Amino acid sequence: MANETEDHETQYCFPAVNSSCIKTKRSTLESNVMYVFFSLLSVWTVFLNLLVIISISHFKKLHTPTNMLILSLAVADMLVGLIVIPVKAIKLIESCWYFGDIFCGLFIFLLGVFLLASLSNLIFIALDRFMAVIYPLLYTQRITMTKSLVAICLTWFCSSSYITSIVVGNGYFDSDALRRSGVCYGECTFIFSFGWRVTDFFVTFLFPCAMIIILYLKIFYVAQQQVKVINSLVNRQRDVTLGSKRRKSDGKAALTLGIIVAIHLLCYVPIYFYSHRK
């Protein structure tokens, strides 16, 4: 009787399919609360990033190399809130993938492109702040709008190319290959061979995170050294005092961006390991 009751209570995503995934049971209240939470999260993410996009696009004074990179970052994050969060929320709450294998491959592609583009933009923003603090006199010559736009194009092109090679190379659009890899029907998850898993760890996690951390540590160290030197000369020349205010302003800007980047990385780390847990 116990076995019959257990079999009766077990729910499958697709009962008519033998290889169907088991569906997680949730109460109506729990599902409704989760839907409301993820809906608000999606709307809030889209709204904030759309505000950044409109502000930078509308005001010509904000058309600077740094802000162009921030604009690209906002576009990537807005697309995450607009596409990734709603679809991922449905999969999490329903515990089943009802959109088919082809859309699963497309979703994995979009998820990978948006996350990798967002992380790549953070690297270029770190490089931009590095040049502004370390080489302030050469910054306007070395960092131009043209170079910034080229960096943005490279970011999206390289991200799309890399994720395409992963999606095609691991058979995301091949239903038979997915079934042979042990993925049950009704599941959409990252599938990597060992070689791709190692490569992806270095390309999308270890290298970019280490590079961002090292750059900002160098920025903060040099900024502190500059502040100490300038403060020692504050009482000697008024022009130096004005220079001190400008350097302090650059330091505060770097600190603000550093905090944003740190929060972004703290959010990215659990997402990376959760999505690569299998």
Q: CB–CB of 239/245 below 8 Å? A: no
Q: What is the pTM of this model?
A: 0.80
Q: Which of 77-91, 155-169, 172-186, 257-271 has the lowest mean pLDDT?
A: 172-186
Alpha helices in 10-136, H assignment, sequence order: 28-58, 65-79, 85-94, 100-134
What is the SS3 assignment for 20?
strand
Count other C-beta atoms under 10 Å from residue 5's C-beta: 9
Per-residue model confidence (pLDDT) at position 241:
47
Query: What is the per-residue DSSP string for 242-278?
Result: HHHHHHHHHHHHHHHHHHHHHHHHHHHHHHHHHHT--
- Average pLDDT of every residue of the chain: 80
Q: From CA 222, how far away is CA 186, in angstroms rounded?
A: 52
Q: How confident is the model at residue 10 (pLDDT cuts 50, 70, 90)?
A: confident
Please name every residue paired with 22 in a beta bridge, in sequence order, or none if there are none. 12
Neighbours of 18 (CB within 10 A): 9
Give the separation between CA 29 and CA 114, rounded to whole angstroms.
32
Report, as an integer, the average pLDDT of 196-208. 82
- Cα angle value 42/44/50 (rounded, 5°): 100
Give the separation between CA 83 and CA 104, rounded to whole angstroms. Answer: 13
- What pLDDT was estimated at residue 178? 58
Structure confidence at residue 145 (pLDDT): 93
pLDDT at 73: 93
**Cβ atoms within 10 Å, residue 36:** 10
pLDDT of residue 69: 94
Q: Please, which residues have CB within 8 angstroms of residue 216's CB and are 6 or more apart in sequence? A: 126, 129, 254, 258, 261
89-126 pLDDT per residue, tens: 998 898 888 888 788 888 989 998 998 998 899 899 98
d(CA 40, CA 35): 9
**High-pLDDT (> 90) share of the chain, %:** 30
Encode pLDDT of 131-175 as tens digits.
888 888 888 888 999 999 999 999 999 999 998 888 877 666 665
What is the C-alpha end-to-end distance of the chain, expressed in Å? 35
Q: Is 55 exposed, middle or buried (0-12, 13-18, 19+ CB in 10 A)?
A: middle
The encoded tokens of residue 272 equal 């990376």
Average pLDDT of span 222-235? 70
Has residue 234 got a pLDDT over 70? no
pLDDT at 61 over 50: yes
| Cβ contacts of 195 within 8 Å, gap of 6 or more | none
Does 254 score more than 80 pLDDT? no
| Residue-range domain boundaries for the chain | 2-275
CATH tag for 2-275 (out of 3.20.20.70, 2.30.30.230, 1.10.110.30, 1.20.1070.10): 1.20.1070.10
Cα–Cα–Cα angle for 206, 195, 83, rounded to 5 degrees: 65
The two structure tokens encoding residue 1: 């009787």
Q: Is the pLDDT reported for residue 4 higher than 50?
A: no
SS3 content of the chain, % helix, strand, coil (to 5): 80, 0, 20
